[in-house]
Amino acid sequence: MKKQITLLSLLLVFTAVLFSCKKDDSSVKARVTGRWSVTKIDVSGYTTADTQSDPSKVNGTITGLSGDYMDFKADNDDQVELSIKGNRTIGTYIGTYAKIGQDAVETINMSFAEGNFYCIVDVLTSNKLQITAKLDKTNVVKVFYLTR
């Protein structure tokens, strides 16, 4: 009898633990996770000195090619991979909420070799993501237009 009560108790605890965990599908991170195709990137704020010293730093519109993507990984390292015209960059990201004025807005902070980008999520649906990213301590702003 004692053995049956112990087994029943363990079964109840296991069942409670199994069904008490629910999937996170409402956080910013959960909603952006996955691979997004890059439609275009609007870039502004690079100085003449920036563009002359590094040809990859250009102002204007970068139109995405068919293989260009941004992949927000679901791993514990919170990695983001950006591939533009065959150049692949890996960084990290954090999806969160921030208060701007009276409004709570969705934000994504990304860190690449170029620096830290503080992003406001302009549009986030199941198949469209638009973020405005400002490079820390500069006037550089990149608006990413992404689709699935």
Domain boundaries, the chain: 24-147
Q: How far apart are CA 113 and CA 48, in angstroms?
A: 21
Dump pLDDT digits (tens) for 90-136: 999 998 887 777 777 899 999 999 999 999 999 999 999 999 999 99
Span 36-85, pLDDT tens digits? 999 999 999 999 988 899 888 889 998 878 889 999 998 888 999 999 88
* 143, HSE (Cβ side, Cα atoms, 13 Å): 7
**What pLDDT is recorded for position 91?**
95
CB 112 within 8 A of CB 82: yes
Question: Cα(84)–Cα(39) distance, rounded to whole angstroms?
Answer: 11
CB 61 within 8 A of CB 41: yes
* Integer Rg of the chain from CA: 21
* CA distance linking residue 35 with residue 71, whole number of Å: 4
- Which of these CATH numbers, 2.40.128, 1.10.10, 3.30.390, 3.90.550, describes 24-147? 2.40.128
